[in-house]
Structure 1
Amino acid sequence: MAIFDLLKLSFLVSLLSESNSVSSINGGGVAVFPPTCERIECPSYDVIHGGDGFEIRRYNSTMWVSTQPIDDISLVDAGRIAFFQLYDYIQGKNDNHQKMEMTAPVITEVKPSDGPFCASSFVVSFYIPKANQATAPSAEGLHLQKWGVTYVAVRQFSGFVMDDDVGKEVSALYESIAGTVWSDAIDKSHADEAATQYIVAQYNSPFEFKNRVNEIWLTFNWEDGLAI
């Protein structure tokens, strides 16, 4: 394997690795553009609203390649399990033997688990580059997710993602949107017990120890959003 490929491998593994430092950005703020997105492709979005400790974004149609649900008690451990399937996929282990560029963020959807001893079920996804979305191939054990226009409530935090801190960031996001015009729409979209509870988005290379940006996403439907 070439040195560049080894660096990419290390990058993506570390995005899903455990560490010991998570802190809020500007006390739980938003509007920090992930530095990674200046170097590699990220999905584009429009900022619809900037609130106190949260941001509302509108993502246009995007394509993701995703793992099957992984039942585990740890988001970090589930990410390690998922990584190799997704990395192999962009390296050409797919039905078309098609290679793709690395993108960000790596997202992990957290859902209720069907397993009797597992707290959550995790689906880990890579964003498909725009150049490959129209021809994105399938692969054994993976599936493609095409998102339509999607509204997302976002909270940012820094450091390396740890299981113990993710729940705190999710709670803080819910607290910041409580009582706002967005609250009812978000609560309604997450009322289904089988729905995705939240998404963790990770952007940075493991070699970046400063200005790390991670995000909690709450996706929701907003029928009147275009009129805001």
Structure 2
Amino acid sequence: MIKSFKQTFLSQGLDAPKWTPMEAKEDYDLRQYEGAMWASTVVRGEPQKEALRTGFFRLFYYIQGKNEKETKIDMTVPVTTVVKSGCPDLHVSFFVPPVHQENPPKPTDPDVFIEERKGAAIFVRSFSGFTSVEKNTEEAQRLAQSLVRDGQCFHEDFYYTAGYDSPFKLFNRHNEVWYFKKE
């Protein structure tokens, strides 16, 4: 499948999960994501900002060779986190590049694991700038309000954040919040 302009722009040359646009609204999109393997970790008992940092570095060390094959793995986008209502734990993930999708190197850190995400229809709201816990929450609430307004059925008890940029990138930043469509 050839990447759309939007997919190419968002990935900035880095590998990203494949998706197909399904519907574009003024304030959100609906995308069909293909199933894929992700390297993940769950951080417990830390405030969300610190948990994201802890999770990011666990996964960063994994792609830098902290795996059974001591293989360096290219960075991908987006970095996702799952935010669940009433749950203090934070689930952080990196997309596994296509070259490793069939057989991802096994993590040596017991807190890092490989998970297979099934294909899914996902509602996406994009926004720019630097993120924060408050900004992500605000954007997720805006997306939820838009979905309710449009009569869309979605899983309301959790949402994903998706970050596409290095913390060193100062301008033209791209971020997303995702809600999964109920089938």
Could you tell me whether the CA contact under 8 Å between 1:34 and 1:213 is conserved in 2? no
Could you state the TM-score of these two structures normalised by the residue count of structure 1?
0.71
What is the aligned partner in structure 2 of residue 172 from structure 1? 142
**Distance verdict in 2 for CA 1:34–1:156, change over 3 Å:** farther
What is the aligned partner in structure 2 of residue 226 from structure 1? none
Could you tell me whether the CA contact under 8 Å between 1:52 and 1:176 is conserved in 2? no
**Which segments of 5 or more consecutive residues in structure 1 lack a partner in the other structure?**
1-30, 115-119, 192-196, 223-228
Tell me, in whole angstroms, the C-alpha distance in 1 between the residues paired with 2:114 and 2:90.
15
Matches within 5 A, 1:54-69: 54-69=28-43
User: Residue 128 of structure 2 aligns to a residue in which SS?
Assistant: strand
What is the aligned partner in structure 2 of residue 122 from structure 1? 90
Structure ID, larger Rg: 1
From the two aligned structures, give the one with the greater helix fraction.
1
Could you tell me whether the CA contact under 8 Å between 1:32 and 1:213 is conserved in 2? no
Higher relative contact order (Cα pairs below 8 Å, separated by 6+ residues): 1
Q: Percent identity?
A: 29
Tell me, in whole angstroms, the C-alpha distance in 2 between the residues paired with 1:87 and 1:113.
27
Could you tell me whether the CA contact under 8 Å between 2:129 and 2:174 is conserved in 1? yes
Could you state the TM-score of these two structures normalised by the residue count of structure 2?
0.87
AA paired with 2:177? I
* 1:137 Cα deviation after fit: 2.5
Deviation per residue, 1:122-162 (Å, 9 max, x gap): 11100000100111122221111111211110001111111
User: Paired residues, what number?
Assistant: 177
**Which segments of 5 or more consecutive residues in structure 2 lack a partner in the other structure?**
none
What is the aligned partner in structure 2 of residue 40 from structure 1? 14
Could you tell me whether the CA contact under 8 Å between 2:43 and 2:54 is conserved in 1? no
What is the aligned partner in structure 1 of residue 81 from structure 2? 108
User: CA-atom RMSD, angstroms?
Assistant: 2.0
